[in-house]
Amino acid sequence: MTTPNNGDTVTIDYVLKRGDGEEVGSTAQAGPQAIELGGGNTFPQIEEALTSMQVGEEQSVAIPCDKAFGPRREDLVQDIPRSQLPPGPDPQPGMALQAQGPDGNPMMLHIVEVGEDSIKVDANHPLAGEDLTFDLTLRAIDTAS
């Protein structure tokens, strides 16, 4: 049997778990995911694991938080005056807002608290500070031409 190489597109199923074992994502709902190896579209540790796998093989890949989404940064939790919010629905905890970062690139903010005059937002990735484990199953290899 063959293993995939950079440039190949692989089809995988995965289950994503936090370090405590809680499942936080999977391909169960949306179906298998296609990834071009070497394209930088996933964590390097996953690409490395996939290049050693054969179709049908399963493997778990642990990624420490500093190699995943990094540590939680409290400086990314800020209060924003409600007067600076765009028009739209009333802000609620859990809602996401898109804002422009200091570098001009868009960034996602998650509302964590709503006050009368301001809201508290968190710009950390929801999995920042978490060690992650991906349980992978290689379903198919589409060899690059």
Give yes or no for residue 1 having a pLDDT over 70: no
Domain regions of the chain by residue span = 9-69+129-142, 74-122
Residue 56: the pLDDT is: 96
Average pLDDT over residues 118-125: 94
Cβ atoms of residues 78 and 110 within 8 Å: no
In whole angstroms, give the CA distance from residue 6 to residue 41: 12
Report the range of poorest mean pLDDT among 23-27, 86-90, 131-135.
86-90
Q: Residue 49: which pLDDT band, with cuts at 50, 70 and 90? A: very high
Neighbours of 51 (CB within 10 A): 15
- The 10s digit of each residue's pLDDT in 67-115 is 999 999 999 999 999 988 888 888 999 999 888 888 888 889 999 999 9
Cβ atoms of residues 135 and 49 within 8 Å: no
In whole angstroms, give the CA distance from residue 21 to residue 25: 12
Residue 99: the pLDDT is: 84
In whole angstroms, give the CA distance from residue 125 to residue 72: 8
Average pLDDT over residues 20-41: 93
Report the range of poorest mean pLDDT among 26-35, 43-52, 65-74, 92-101.
92-101
Q: What is the CATH number of domain 74-122?
A: 2.40.10.330
**CATH fold of 9-69+129-142:** Chitinase A; domain 3 (3.10.50)
Neighbours of 93 (CB within 10 A): 11
- Give the C-alpha distances (Å, rounded to integers) separating 79 from 83, 94, 102, 126: 12, 15, 16, 18
pTM of the model: 0.81
